[in-house]
Amino acid sequence: MTLPELPQNRALLDLLRQQGVPQESGAYAYEGWELHAHPDLVERLEDLAPPWPVLAVFGVPVLAAKGTAAVVGWGMGILLVRLPEAPAEPLELAKPCPPLTDPGQGWYSVCPWQSELHSAESKAQLSLLIRHALSYAATLSDDDSITGRRRRRPRCAGL
């Protein structure tokens, strides 16, 4: 499954496409692309959102709901989450990733490890944040499922 070319994914896909490097094999190959996230971060994302499928998008792990990107694992230690508002404390924020995290873009950077919280609390808080991001992303789409199928519009009688 890949991330569809939807208007709500355009900024993310443009950014990932620019930095994507095709790579079929090797230690840092990720579904045909050079990996642009630390392997531990990919594993962390999988651990925080089971059994949600992690998509490999131009070498970057992404979670999506109904075809709309919701969470991105970036670099060594950044989770980008799509939300209607900034994450609340006690979550530790990570460095911004312009242009996605510019004001009004709806993406926020958080630390995937939350070193100030106990391990179990960190996992619980981040899992909740990811579920919130997935729910929010689903509201931005008119797809019926995470597979990217479009909802059929009802036909009017006589047309």
pLDDT tens, 102-149?
999 999 999 999 988 888 999 999 999 999 999 999 999 865 444 443
pTM confidence score: 0.84
Q: Which of 53, 6, 47, 12 is nearest to 39 (CA)?
A: 47
With a cut of 60, say whether residue 150 has pLDDT above it: no
> Could you tell me where the DSSP H helices lie in the chain?
10-19, 39-48, 119-139
